[in-house]
A and B are shown apart, each in its own frame.
Chain A
Amino acid sequence: MLNMCILVKPVIDPDSIKWDYQNQQFSYINNTFNAADLQALQWACEYKEKNNANITVILAADPNMVIDQKRLLKYNIDKCLILQQPGLRKQRGETARLLAEELKKYSFDVILCGSVSEDENLGVTPAMVAELLYIPCLTNIFQIDIELERKWKVKRSEERGIVQTYEVQLPILIGVVTSLGRKRYIPRYSRSFQTRKNIEVHELEAPIIESNIRVAKISEPKPNIRYFDIPEDSLSPELRLLKIMGLAQEKKEQSGEKVASKVNNQNIHFISQKLQKWLMEG
């Protein structure tokens, strides 16, 4: 029976999050887990169903980060460790070290996780964890075939449709992509009662060593301010409307001449003119 460990990263759903320009903060914050990590977890649960395995999920997060445990309850996991490290939000590079230190306490046959996280898209943590544990690491894996219990065949896709197939010997860290399998619907009520008992929260107190890299500021993307011509009266209503709406002017909005990334008096003038025209049209 294999001992499997799944590294799951709590993230804020990048699909839903929005920058609230009015209040200058993020809104629609939906706490979830990295999709590729959940795909790895789903794969492990499917493996467990067929071949029996012991599944441990490990998460490392800042205590300020909300972890929606309910989303994990439906998986058939034997243990779930939540490592809460103060200051981790500012020192994200430390995640791998935290995870590696925890992983050293156990002996896992395989460590599965997503290759990259949805929020930062760096893909650093899996490789760093493997390095710190002195085990091989393969990322971007989209297919895992079990040859023997400790001998697997994994596939990764490269550019231009090239597929690389590796024969790997456990232990190993495998980073997967979301196309590892179809995302299945797992009813929450099926296992949640049992799984809740298996969740342990470890509150770490040791401070994180200050790193040279830190998040300086989080801000909104600069908006593209579009300004358009004031329609002339001689134009047909259709063309006037198109001008007002800013349609059919440029195929590529970003490369259009009438796009500015900074607010200046000229832009404000044009926007006010546009609004006035629009109100008159109404």
Chain B
Amino acid sequence: MMQTVQRDTFWMISLDYKIAMYALATIAIGVFVYGFYRRFRLWRKGVREKVSWNNVKTNFHFFYQTAIEQKKIKRDRVFGFMHRFTSYGFVILFIGTVLVVIDYDFKIPLLHGNFYLFYELILDVFGVLFLIGLLLAMVVRARKKRTRLRHGMADQAFLLLLFLIGVGGYIIEGIRLSETQISYAVWSPIGYGLAVLFQDNSLFTLESYPVWWLTHTILAFILIAIIPYTKLFHFLTAPINILFQPVKRTGKVGTPYNLEEMTEEQRYESMRIQGVNKITDFTGWQLLSTDACTECGRCDSQCPAHNSGKPLAPRSIVTKIRDHMHEDQEVVSFIHPDELQSCTTCGACVEACPVSINHIDLILSMRRGLIQNLVIEQEAENTLVKMEDQYNVFGKPWSDRENWSKGLNVPVLEKKENNKEKEGA
């Protein structure tokens, strides 16, 4: 009799376990949704910034380079492999799980026949890449060679959790293939190899299968539940940020106004020039971008101000905004003006950031707020006062403006009677 090639979801799983799984799934998804809503609500409190379709279209190519090709992460060779393996593996395994849900829970038969065999092969291969990537990450972190990384216990714990989920998947597949002896088991090469190993092994038997299955399920649900509460949230926010964030590329300093488009009156009355004084003064997209931070520290490692001992750490700026988002405090209560004033706006941090956070945009927004509150570096303030009084940064009398041309026979185009109008420096 010919075997039907199809996925046997919930193989050897009793009704009790099924109910337990659905109950846990409901809880995990509920916790996830609440966590997401909690942050979404905070993003919504920010100033609304319209994202045009043109922005998204422009971002597509950037998205391909940054999120799929991962060009920025590839600059660190080992980390490049690590992150591509892990992220590609995670995405493929996630899609695989979604297909299972569609196939089983929505009763749309997808996983059968040749497609199912191909599905098994792909998932097995990407599962291996996923685990290799995680191992690389754990080794790199354990060796503590990269000074830009923060070596917290939580970082290793996240990697371990993902690793255990990946390994758990293979174990339950191995037991299933070992026990069922199906003819197309070779399409799951890793699972098949494990099935051969598990033969006559008392730990990986039909009896222990539900325990392994439940453990895998619980770990997977723990992962789902904690995503919006940890830096793993970047799984979701980083692609959104890269794709939908209004285009603010490296080197382009964003301004909330365009002086060329404003009349003289509007320049004086420009209420549109908004600075950030408290969290809700940021735009929603700026707030979302801070949730995309993976704390990788590439920005810090490239920042000339940080590397020369100035009190600025671009990563801290981002994480401080993220961590204080729920309080809607005055920005100066958790970010010192010196940090903001140390930025040279060189753009090295923005260029280095793999999730497209625009640190300069955040810093300049807050600097505008500082100026509104008259918190301004003294030398810069003196310069502004001089500009206001004499229209030049040196504070030299306006009438000395043309002194440089004396004796050079420079023709003066301006009519004499017009020289009452003050000219800028």
Residue from A28, A32, A187, A193 in contact with B372 in the complex, judged by beta carbons closer than 8 Å? A187
A183: CB under 8 A from chain B? yes
> Is B374 a contact of A29 with CB atoms below 8 Å?
no
Q: Are B397 and A15 in contact (CB under 8 A)?
A: yes
The reply to whether B268 and A192 contact each other, CB–CB distance below 8 Å, is: yes
| Contacting residues, chain A, for B270 (C-beta < 8 A) | 189
Q: At the interface, yes or no: A211 with Cβ under 8 Å from chain B?
A: no
Tell me what chain A mostly uses at the interface: helix, strand, loop, or mixed: loop
State whether the Cβ of B385 lies closer than 8 Å to any Cβ in chain A. Answer: yes
A27 within 8 A of B: yes
Contact B385 A183 (CB under 8 A): yes
Say how far A8's CB is from chain B's closest CB, in angstroms: 16
Asked if B70 lies at the interface with its beta carbon under 8 angstroms from chain A, I say: no
Contact B388 A185 (CB under 8 A): yes
| A190 and B398 alpha carbons, distance in the complex (Å) | 26
Bound-state CA distance A51–B376 (Å) is 23
CA gap between A189 and B389 in the complex, in Å? 16
Residues 235-256 of chain A, each 1 if its beta carbon lies under 8 Å from chain B, else 0: 0000000000000000000000
Residues of B within 8 A of A183 (CB): 385
B385 touches A189 (CB 8 A): no
A30 at the interface (CB under 8 A from B): yes
Asked if B381 lies at the interface with its beta carbon under 8 angstroms from chain A, I say yes
Q: How far is B402's CA from A18's CA once the two chains are assembled, in angstroms?
A: 13
| A211 to B385 alpha-carbon distance, docked (Å) | 39
- By a CB distance below 8 angstroms, the chain A residues around B399 are 15-18, 27-28
Is there an interface contact between A23 and B416, defined as CB atoms closer than 8 Å?
Answer: yes
For A184, give the chain B residue with the smallest CB separation.
B374
Q: How far is the CA of A189 from the CA of B267 in the complex (A)?
A: 8
Partner of A189, one of B268, B388, B420: B268
B-side contacts of A186, CB under 8 Å: 374
Chain A proximity of B381: nearest CB distance (Å): 5
Interface flag for A73 (CB, 8 Å): yes
Please tell me if A153 contacts chain B, counting CB pairs below 8 Å.
no
The answer to whether B422 touches A30 (Cβ under 8 A) is: yes
Q: A-facing mask of B248-278, CB < 8 A → 1, else 0?
A: 0000000000000000000011110100000
B419 near A30 (CB under 8 angstroms)? no
* 14 more A-B residue pairs beyond the given contacts A186-B374, A187-B372, A193-B271, with a C-beta to C-beta distance below 8 A: A13-B397, A15-B390, A15-B398, A15-B399, A16-B399, A17-B399, A27-B399, A28-B397, A28-B399, A70-B268, A73-B268, A182-B378, A189-B268, A189-B270
Contact residues of A with B, CB < 8 Å?
13, 15-18, 23, 27-30, 32, 70, 73, 182-190, 192-193
Binding site for A on B (CB under 8 A): 268-271, 273, 371-372, 374, 376, 378, 381, 384-385, 388-390, 397-399, 416, 419-420, 422
13 contacts between A and B (CB under 8 A): A13-B389, A13-B397, A13-B398, A17-B399, A18-B399, A27-B399, A28-B398, A28-B419, A184-B381, A185-B381, A186-B374, A190-B372, A192-B268
Give the 10 A-B residue pairs with the shortest CB-CB distance, closest first.
Answer: A28-B399, A185-B384, A16-B398, A15-B397, A18-B399, A16-B397, A185-B381, A16-B399, A189-B270, A185-B385
